[in-house]
Amino acid sequence: MKNEYIPFPSQVREIIRHTDIEYTFRMSFSGSVKPGQFFEVSIPKYGEAPISVSGIGAGTVDLTIRRVGKVTAQIFERYEGSVLPMRGPYGNGFDIENYKGKELVVIAGGTGLSPVKGVVDYFCEHPEEAVSTTLIAGFKSPQDILFRQDFERWESALQVIKTVDSAPEGYRGLTGMVTKYIPDLPIVDVSNTDFITVGPPAMIRFTIMEILKRGVPEQNIWISHERKMCCGLGKCGHCKMNDTYVCLDGPVFNYAESKHLID
Amino acid sequence: MGYQIPRQKADRLFARLKQNYTIYAPKLFAGDGCFSDTDIIRYGKITDLDEIEWNRRSDYSFKEALLAINEVLFYFTEGETTVPPCPEKKLLIFLRSCDLHAVKRLDTIYLKNGAEDFYYSRLREKARFVLMGCWETCDTGFCASMDTNRSEQYDLYLKLSGSSLWADCKSEELQPYFAEAEGTVCDVQPDSVTENKEKVTLPRKLSVESFQNPIWESYGSRCIGCGRCNFVCPTCTCFTMQDILYRDNANVGERRRVWASCQVDGYTDIAGGNSFRKKQSERLRFRVMHKIYDFEKRFGFPMCVGCGRCDAICPEYISYTNIINQLAKEET
């Protein structure tokens, strides 16, 4: 029987620096993996942290990591060419098939863009497979914007609204919360429109309120939850909500099926 | 097959069992209780039949025989990990009917919820269960209400009474020990209680609305978040990862999993500062709803086995039994 708790070594192939505390680590990995799934990055002596897959390449997965805790601080001490032990992937991830032939709107806040970035990348490469694809990405300030290079690519193929909560005078980009841009989104057929929203719990709550105001059916809304996880395997119990284990049944949930979940 | 075995021969039988099994049973630790001059009954390895506490329910459950309080998952040096070997001997675990029903709950989480757990599985395969009878009810248990007062799933039933050991052996593996013991073959039925002092009716109409019930606040406001209810519960299985470094060589250490409590601060904290159940009443709700609603919704049977240990151990005298009964009463 496989011992799931033992991490495997993965080469750090490349590091993409977005901000002082947010880097993308391009890791070697050749197994099957979906956007929205996660790995436990597992650093002996420091512990483990569940990190979403923010991109999938040939023989690589991207992990976009924010330096906020003990384990992630340690990851930032490791540099290009070194090895990070990790285990996974875990969780269900996003199913691209759900969004083909639809009007797709992705609304992400901060690092919440990571788990859904694989979906955005897919429709950026295959724009003809969706009726339309819109990305609304919100960041705290201009300094906090992630995936700057990716935005250039996305902006050429998709409708992109990149906004910051607040900016210094003279900032030429969009400002305001992501929710500000939902009422005016051009939607042709609400019943054929799917929304994916990922970000801090408060952002998700207000975003869903705005989406529902547009008359979008609940089953067309998808969210990804963030919870404490020690195992990723349905054992440690930390991520449980009602009868649901976020690590096994999520982290991606259909809103209609998951709106009753209470911590 | 049932046997009556005279005490001397029973001791010889026990000595033979000991050679092949590590035996866990409830033991009395005199003076070790939380308060002065109090005792505690918890599990330990035993080498003699007389070490077993036969009469009283243990304060802590058998679960530490299968899930150590601290369990080393692996040792690490700079580049290598080493998994500790599984103990070679099989386990013989003495427990009462409520706890034997709890084994099914542990199996459900560790073997059926997602992939099988490597560490639990390898130990579980070696575990054999010895049922201890209950001839009178304990104070806070409500096994009869939960239908856990009887169990047929034992490998062996044992009772020490008078100058004899009474046994009912269901396991083929253990049968030879009894065949050799020169006892008298007879019919032996496990003692079990049919009624408890505490009677519980499970609420059957719980729903998402139940989360808003003011009962959580009224009981939860007394909770101090010590987590004892989780640690004594035979069906609580949560753990947290912990990396330990050795003092004499900071590059060497071990990763452990340690028992965790959903009532204690930190259980839902994520890096960056968010946490999901800040109030004690939310944590109490989480625990009770898991025991009587969420688990059953997912797996088809209630998690709680009615051992009553949580009520007995609570320093704030919060009665889980009363909460359940009140929820049920509100439904009528």
Q: Residue A163's beta-bridge partner residues? A: A138, A174
Q: What percent of chain A has pLDDT over 70?
A: 98
Are the Cβ atoms of B114 and A242 closer than 8 angstroms?
A: no
pLDDT of residue B158: 96
Selected for mutation to probe chain A from B251, B264, B274, B283 (highest A CB count within 10 Å) is B274
Give the C-alpha separation, B126 to B174, whole Å.
13
Selected for mutation to probe chain A from B74, B255, B263 (highest A CB count within 10 Å) is B255
Residue B224 in tokens: 């101090």
Nearest to B271 among A6, A45, A49 (CB): A49
Give A-chain residues touching B277 at CB under 8 angstroms. Answer: 263
φ, ψ for residue A197, nearest 5 deg: -135, 130
Give the C-alpha separation, A147 to A117, whole Å.
9
Are the Cβ atoms of B243 and A235 closer than 8 angstroms?
A: no
Quote ipTM for the complex: 0.93
Nearest CA distance, B295 vs chain A (angstrom): 6
Count of A-B CB contacts under 8 Å: 123
Residue B213: exposed, middle, or buried by beta-carbon count in 10 A (0-12, 13-18, 19+)?
middle
Task: Give the right CATH number for A96-224 from 3.40.1180.10, 3.40.50.300, 3.40.50.80, 3.90.1150.10.
Answer: 3.40.50.80
pLDDT of residue B80: 87
Extents of the domains making up chain A = 1-93+227-253, 96-224
Give the C-alpha separation, A224 to A246, whole Å.
9
Residue A227 in tokens: 């919870």
Are the Cβ atoms of B239 and A237 closer than 8 angstroms?
A: yes
Nearest CA distance, B86 vs chain A (angstrom): 13
pLDDT in tens, A128-156: 999 999 999 999 999 999 999 999 999 99
pLDDT in tens, A87-103: 999 999 999 999 999 99
**Neighbour tally for A39: CB within 10 Å:** 26
Chain A's closest residue to B116, CA to CA, is A1
Question: Taking Cα atoms as reference points, which of B109, A45, A258, A29 lies closest to residue A37?
Answer: A29
DSSP string, B196-256: -SS-----S---GGGGG-THHHHHHTT-----HHHHH-SS---EEEEEEEETTEEEEEEEE
pTM of the predicted protein model? 0.93
Report the amino acid identity of residue A173: G
Distance from chain centroid for Cα B135: 20
> Are B130 and B301 within 8 A, CB to CB?
no
Classify B320 as helix, strand or coil: helix
Nearest CA distance, B114 vs chain A (angstrom): 6
- Report the pLDDT averaged over residues A187-203: 94
Selected for mutation to probe chain A from B241, B242, B252, B289 (highest A CB count within 10 Å) is B241
> Are B307 and B146 within 8 A, CB to CB?
no
Stated length of chain A:
263
Chain B's closest residue to A66, CA to CA, is B272
- Report the pLDDT averaged over residues A186-192: 94
Show which of residues 140-199 on chain A sit within 8 Å of chain B, judged by CB atoms: none
A242 CB near a chain B CB, below 8 Å?
A: yes
Nearest to A243 among B109, B115, B294 (CB): B294
Are the Cβ atoms of B239 and A227 closer than 8 angstroms?
A: no
pLDDT in tens, A1-25: 899 999 999 999 999 999 989 999 9
The list of chain B residues with pLDDT below 50 reads none
Q: Is the pLDDT of residue A72 over 80?
A: yes
CB within 8 Å of A187: residues ≥ 6 apart: A103, A105, A193, A214, A216
Question: Taking Cα atoms as reference points, which of B70, B72, B251, B271 lies closest to residue A45?
Answer: B251
Nearest to B270 among A46, A228, A260 (CB): A228
Number of helical (H) and strand (E) elements in chain A, helices listed first: 6, 15
Are the Cβ atoms of B113 and A248 closer than 8 angstroms?
A: yes
Are the Cβ atoms of B115 and A4 closer than 8 angstroms?
A: yes
Are the Cβ atoms of B268 and A71 closer than 8 angstroms?
A: no
Give the C-alpha separation, A211 to A217, whole Å.
9
Residue A60 in tokens: 């690589």
Give the C-alpha separation, A123 to A132, whole Å.
9
Give the C-alpha separation, A66 to A64, whole Å.
7
pLDDT of residue B312: 95
Beta-strand relationship, A174-175 and A159-164 = parallel
Q: Is the pLDDT of residue A85 over 70?
A: yes
Give the C-alpha separation, A235 to A213, whole Å.
38
A233 CB near a chain B CB, below 8 Å?
A: yes
Kind plus residue range of the DSSP H or E element containing A78: none
Report the amino acid identity of residue B117: D
What would be the CATH architecture of the domain defined by A1-93+227-253? Beta Barrel (2.40)
pLDDT of residue A80: 60
- Report the pLDDT averaged over residues A103-119: 95
pLDDT of residue A79: 67
pLDDT of residue B16: 95
Give the C-alpha separation, A237 to A229, whole Å.
8
Kind plus residue range of the DSSP H or E element containing B132: strand B127-132
Give the C-alpha separation, A39 to A43, whole Å.
12
DSSP string, A87-142: EEEES----GGGGTTSEEEEEEEGGGHHHHHHHHHHHHH-GGGSSEEEEEEEESSG
pLDDT of residue A215: 95
**Neighbour tally for B258: CB within 10 Å:** 15
| Distance in Å from the first CA to the final CA of chain A | 33
pLDDT of residue B250: 81
DSSP string, A177-245: -GGGGSTT---S-GGGEEEEEES-HHHHHHHHHHHHHTT--GGGEEEE-----SSSSS-S-TTEETTEE
Are the Cβ atoms of B282 and A238 closer than 8 angstroms?
A: no
Question: Per-residue confidence at A231, pLDDT binned at 50, 70, 90?
Answer: very high
